[in-house]
Amino acid sequence: MRRIQSLFAALFALVFPAAAAPAQKPAPAQQSEWLAVCSRCPSPVVVSKSGIGTANARAEARMTREQLKGWCENESPGNVNECLRQQLAEHGNKVYRASADCTAGRITTIEEKTYTLAGLWDNSDIGGGRTKWRDAGGQVVGRDNASNGLAISQQWEVLCPGPPPIGRAAAASAQTPRAATPARQATQTPAPVCGGQPMCTEVNSFAATITDFRTSNVSGAKVVTASVRFQNKLARPIILGYVAGSGVTTDDQGNRYTVYAADSVRGIGFIANGRVDPKFILRAGEAGDTRFEMVWRWSGREVFGLTFEMELAVRELLPLPSGQFRLGPEHPLRFSGLGNVLSTVPAMPSTPATSATPVAAVAATPAAGDASAAKPAPAATTTEADPCAGAARCFSAGPFIAEVQQISSSLSGGRHHVLRFHMRFRNVSAQPLILAVTYNSPIAIDNDGNRYGVTPGQAVSGMGVTTGRNADPQFTLAPGESRNAAFQVYRRNSGNPTALSYTFDVSLEQLEILPSRQIRSVRQFSLNFPDLTVSRMQGGAQPAGNLSEAGKKLIGIIRGKKK
């Protein structure tokens, strides 16, 4: 019987060979490869490869519509179509190319920058066991999101799969002199500048002081607003940037306040997703002010605290001769014991009365490893007079000073409290100066913690406004020239105001007109005026409270006459 079955099986196999063959599992579909751009950027899909694993490995990649649409659905869920249109216009026709010498440990990334293998990362942080890279200046590229070193690792893994040539790369690195080797023995430590000041912390290159700290309430949220002054301690310019996502404030009840939007940080640029904004430049010994706002969504039921601790991180940007920037040391800063209506306001250090240093002017600045780079700045003992001459309502921003001359108060519609700040600006530099108001930046906080925002319509008079795409350069100051402008803020449904003082904040952009007639922002200044009181305007309106009392007296007189 078994013999008959075997013969039948053999015959069946001859007639139906495919059916008789052992069943095989289908090969898994090959997943698309990509070349990483940054941690939160869309990544192009590899469309061609050649020489993989050799000394001439190459890969080309393109963005696909489906990939960009998926990225937009995640990053901009409320406006997918517009996001997709912009991404297709920017990336749709672009070809991304990366190449590598897998035998020598060298890669040219899709950004057309060349790096050499520097070993493998340890397991103390993200990317443990992945390749570590050294840039053209000899500096190791960090594995954090801002440095974007792991994107280089990912591109290498596509071009050169398998174990990297660690031994040969290390030998080549030892034979090649590294640029900008730190001369630690020649480094001098700048003298401390905090000098026991409260709310001041410092590192080797700069000091940071909280000059004003306020809490306020708006639309069911609690807001902390901190003005932080940075002072350069070195004898060369430094460029600082705020590390996105690092700002957090915690109160004594454990409630957490965080930076909620890009316009919550004023006066200093962001470092995020491999991109940097190098606007915040401080010359030797110069100080500059910044503003940070952090929010906690309060439900009305939680217990809120009265003492705060604030943390944030800033990072130095090192300019390269090519006009690009390399990320320098990152400095975590921490301030504790903060309370509402804290105002220290140390004197602004005297600096040369010149315009803000453009980025190009510091392009040849020595890198952090240069011995001259760490040379301390001369002691801030100068005979230069204070541009504000000690005036209480005056703010020195370096190339210009701003003075609050008068504050008017009124009620709109009988229920909205309106404050108008009349200010005078004077150019104290030797160069013409163009200023504009940063869109939506004027705010005020009264001594009861109530917050005033920009009024709809004409919130600024006498000065242009700059937004993300447009800038109005009408406010131009010649050296020594002064001009006036007014800023208006309001609080909805406030009724008769009862506050006694107000803190006013506004951010201004220094503009530059290029030969192409285009306009760009060179620097953003954050101005802070604490504890202002409403003043009577000459020939103008009186404070709202006085108007209300005068109206009551007038009504009483009229009623008396009718009797």
Residue 501: name the closest of 538, 452, 456, 547 by CA.
452
Say what the pLDDT of residue 343 is: 58
Residue 46: name the closest of 25, 56, 60, 58 by CA.
60
Q: Which domains does the chain have, with CATH numbers?
A: 45-159 (no CATH), 200-339 (2.60.40), 394-533 (2.60.40)
H and E: helices and strands count for the chain: 7, 32
Residue 319: name the closest of 270, 384, 366 by CA.
366
Are residues 98 and 44 in contact, defined by beta-carbon separation less than 8 angstroms?
no
Say what the pLDDT of residue 156 is: 93
Are residues 164 and 101 in contact, defined by beta-carbon separation less than 8 angstroms?
no
Question: Which amino acid does the sequence have at 87?
Answer: Q
Say what the pLDDT of residue 75 is: 66
Q: What is the CA radius of gyration of the chain?
A: 31
| Torsion over CA: 444, 446, 452, 458 (sign) | negative
Taking the C-alpha atoms of residue 296 and residue 386, their distance in angstroms, rounded to an integer, is 39
Say what the pLDDT of residue 48 is: 92
Going residue by residue through the chain (563 aa), what tens digit of pLDDT does each one get?
A: 444 454 444 444 444 444 444 443 333 333 468 888 875 677 888 999 999 999 999 999 998 888 788 778 766 666 788 888 888 888 878 899 999 999 999 999 998 899 999 999 887 767 788 899 999 888 899 887 667 788 899 899 999 988 888 765 544 444 444 444 444 444 467 888 898 888 999 999 999 999 999 999 887 789 999 999 999 999 989 999 999 989 999 999 999 999 988 789 999 999 987 788 898 999 999 999 999 999 998 887 888 999 999 999 999 998 877 678 888 999 999 999 998 766 555 555 544 444 444 444 443 334 333 333 334 444 333 335 678 887 888 999 989 999 999 999 988 887 889 999 999 999 999 999 999 999 889 999 998 888 998 887 768 999 999 987 788 999 999 999 999 999 999 988 777 777 889 999 999 999 998 887 888 888 999 999 998 998 754 333 344 443 344 344 434 444 444 44
Q: Phi first, then psi: what are they for 446, rounded to 5°?
A: -85, 175
| Torsion over CA: 359, 363, 369, 374 (sign) | negative
Helix-strand-coil percent breakdown of the chain, rounded to 5?
15, 40, 45
Say what the pLDDT of residue 137 is: 85
Nearest 5°: the CA angle 53, 54, 57 is 80
Name residue, tokens 């500096």: 139
What contacts 48, CB < 8 A, 6 or more positions away?
A: 59, 60
3-state secondary structure at position 552: helix
Taking the C-alpha atoms of residue 340 and residue 216, their distance in angstroms, rounded to an integer, is 9
Say what the pLDDT of residue 3 is: 47
The three-state DSSP-derived secondary structure of 186-222 is HCCCCCCCCCCCCCEEECCCEEEEEEEEEEEEECCEE
DSSP string, 360-408: GGGTTPPPTTSGGGGPBPPPS---PPPTTTT-TTEEE-SSEEEEEEEEE
Q: How far is CA 40 from the centre of its chain?
A: 16
Nearest 5°: the CA angle 323, 329, 330 is 115
Q: Is the pTM of this model over 0.85?
A: no
Taking the C-alpha atoms of residue 345 and residue 229, their distance in angstroms, rounded to an integer, is 9
Cβ atoms < 10 Å from Cβ of 131 = 26
Say what the pLDDT of residue 483 is: 96
Say what the pLDDT of residue 385 is: 64
Cα 309 to Cα 221, 299, 337, 528, distances in angstroms:
18, 21, 6, 21
Residue 61: beta bridge partners? 46, 96
Taking the C-alpha atoms of residue 485 and residue 327, their distance in angstroms, rounded to an integer, is 38
What secondary structure letter does DSSP report for 439?
A: T
Residue 478: name the closest of 544, 428, 413, 436 by CA.
428
Tokens linked to 509: 């952009």
Residue 209: name the closest of 287, 315, 281, 306 by CA.
287
What torsion, rounded to 10 degrees, do the Cα atoms 35, 240, 313, 267 define? -110
Residue 526: its H or E element? strand 519-532
Name residue, tokens 């026991």: 196
Say what the pLDDT of residue 98 is: 94
413 half-sphere exposure, CB direction, 13 A CA radius: 7
Residue 202: name the closest of 210, 211, 194 by CA.
194
Are residues 534 and 407 in contact, defined by beta-carbon separation less than 8 angstroms?
yes
Say what the pLDDT of residue 346 is: 54
C-alpha distance across the termini of the chain, in Å: 132
Say what the pLDDT of residue 535 is: 72
Per the rule left: phi > 0, alpha: psi between -120 and 50, beta: everything else, 87 is: alpha
